[in-house]
């Protein structure tokens, strides 16, 4: 196990009706906030009304910026930064899923920066060290952004989807009320489950040894999500199943489960090129890319893939044929995701192979760097993974 530092600054308010307390939490930081959200669903459900009432009761003024879409774009982030500066806002409150939260974090990061916020995402500027405080009211368990230090934004110019991670981007407070997920359509449920599972698997496949404790935590979290997901599709208002998935999604990406180990993250980088160009759901893209990545890298650590198959998917162990065990584990992942209605091939997303070479080059910035830590991949490797996912 490697040396590590762990500190989670996000205060979690978990459970029924907790959004009523968000105003008092925001008031601890500022008397004026940006209320940031997506489309009309939060309004129609009454959630935005309850949030506004909570802010008003706490004496917090606010301005609003809606319009966040999946794969949030930098143009709206720039608009939000300008609005916050003009209105002298001191807090950014995101009401929505990972896209809204990531957009809110980008606005918070850009507020104090004299250059273009996109600089943080390209590496043209160092990671931000100061940002407006951010809070969230989560409506879609998936991205884990409600208690992570990361933000992913797409630049429409060049269809580039890039990430930044900085301690100042941890939300100060997040509301996790499972009831707020009751109205999600089945495809968003499935995409969210795949995203959560991918966050866990990115951490699981590591070259660091003697990490049994976090191995077991990741395995248990995966098994919990796998058991709960079919219940959500069978009954969208299953509070207990949503509670399991919502908490698992937050734990999966708040950096607890990668302490003392180095995760991979190539599958996320490879998928970002897909959703950056084709504007697909991130979880759906991961359901296609992750099994292909596993097949391509199977020989790197066959024992770890076999362990994953046995402990997570219940494959019968066979120490004389670890490859068969490992491949069965991959087959069960694909079968599970298919059972949720997810595609596991590019063709299922309506994507061909005509741009795979371009995406592979973009992923590695023209082969100037590699992606992934478990196995370091160059553009030729990434192109082969896309082709495995055909």
Last residue of a domain, one of 180, 212, 227: 180
With a pLDDT cut of 90, the percent of the chain lying above it is 96
How is 9-56 classified by DSSP, letter by letter?
--EEEESTTGGGGHHHHHHTT-SEEEEEE-SSHHHHTTHHHHHHHHHH
pLDDT for 291 equals 98
373 and 233, same structural domain?
yes
201 and 158, same structural domain?
no
Domain that holds residue 97: 11-180
pLDDT for 4 equals 87
Handedness of CA 28, 31, 34, 36 (dihedral sign): positive
Last residue of a domain, one of 165, 180, 195: 180
304 and 244, same structural domain?
yes
Q: Would the pLDDT of 319 be above 80? A: no
Based on the structure, what is the number of domains in the chain? 2
Residue 95 belongs to domain with CATH number: 3.40.50.1970
Condensed to tens digits (0 to 9), the pLDDT of residues 250-263 reads: 999 999 999 999 99
Residue 209 belongs to domain with CATH number: 1.20.1090.10
194 and 171, same structural domain?
no
Q: Please, which pLDDT band fits residue 40 given cuts at 50, 70 and 90?
A: confident
For residues 308 and 327, what is the distance between their CA atoms, to the nearest angstrom? 11
207 and 120, same structural domain?
no
Q: What is the mean pLDDT of residues 230-249?
A: 98
157 and 81, same structural domain?
yes
Contact 159, 73 (CB under 8 A): no
pLDDT for 32 equals 98
Helix axes 379-388, 282-297, angle to 10 degrees: 110
Q: What is the mean pLDDT of residues 164-170?
A: 97
202 and 93, same structural domain?
no
Decide: helix, strand or coil at residue 126. Answer: coil
- The answer to the question of residue 5 being in a domain is no
- The answer to the question of residue 6 being in a domain is no
For residues 77 and 177, what is the distance between their CA atoms, to the nearest angstrom? 26
For the sheet with 92-96, list strands across it. Answer: 11-14, 173-176, 134-138, 92-96, 32-37, 61-65
pTM attached to this predicted model: 0.95
């Amino acid at each position: 196990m490697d040396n590590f530092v762990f500190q989670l600054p996000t205060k979690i308010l978990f459970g029924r009706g907790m959004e009523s307390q968000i105003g008092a939490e925001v008031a601890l930081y500022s008397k004026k906030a940006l209320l940031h959200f997506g489309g009309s669903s939060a309004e129609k459900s009454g959630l935005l009304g309850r949030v506004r009432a909570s802010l008003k009761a706490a004496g917090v003024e606010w301005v609003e910026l809606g319009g966040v879409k999946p794969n949030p774009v930098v143009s709206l982030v720039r608009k939000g930064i300008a609005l916050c500066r003009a209105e002298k806002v001191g807090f950014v409150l995101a009401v929505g899923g990972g896209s809204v939260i990531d957009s809110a974090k980008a606005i918070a990061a850009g507020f104090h920066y004299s250059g273009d916020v996109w600089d943080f995402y390209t590496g043209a500027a160092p990671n931000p060290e100061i940002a407006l405080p951010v809070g969230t009211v989560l409506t879609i368990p998936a991205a884990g952004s409600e208690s992570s230090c990361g933000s992913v934004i797409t630049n429409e110019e060049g269809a580039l989807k890039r990430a930044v991670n900085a301690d100042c981007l941890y939300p100060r407070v997040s509301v996790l009320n499972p009831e707020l997920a009751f109205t999600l359509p089945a495809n968003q449920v499935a995409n969210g489950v795949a995203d959560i599972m991918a966050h866990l698997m990115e951490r699981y496949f590591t070259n660091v040894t003697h990490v049994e404790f976090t191995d077991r935590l990741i395995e248990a979290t995966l098994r919990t999500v796998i058991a709960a997901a079919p219940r959500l599709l069978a009954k969208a208002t299953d509070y207990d199943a949503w509670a399991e998935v919502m908490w698992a999604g937050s734990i999966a990406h708040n950096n607890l489960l990668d302490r003392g180990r180095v995760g991979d993250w190539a599958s996320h980088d490879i998928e970002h090129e897909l959703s950056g160009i084709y504007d697909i759901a991130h979880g759906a893209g991961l359901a296609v890319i992750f099994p292909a990545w596993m097949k391509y890298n199977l020989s790197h650590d066959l024992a770890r893939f076999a362990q994953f198959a046995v402990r997570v998917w219940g494959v019968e162990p066979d120490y004389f044929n670890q490859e068969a065990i490992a491949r069965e584990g991959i087959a069960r992942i694909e079968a599970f995701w298919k059972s949720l209605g997810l595609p596991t091939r590019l063709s299922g997303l309506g994507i061909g192979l005509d741009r795979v070479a371009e995406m592979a080059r973009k992923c590695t910035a023209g082969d100037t760097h590699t992606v992934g830590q478990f196995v370091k991949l160059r553009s030729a490797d990434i192109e082969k993974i896309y082709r495995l996912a055909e």
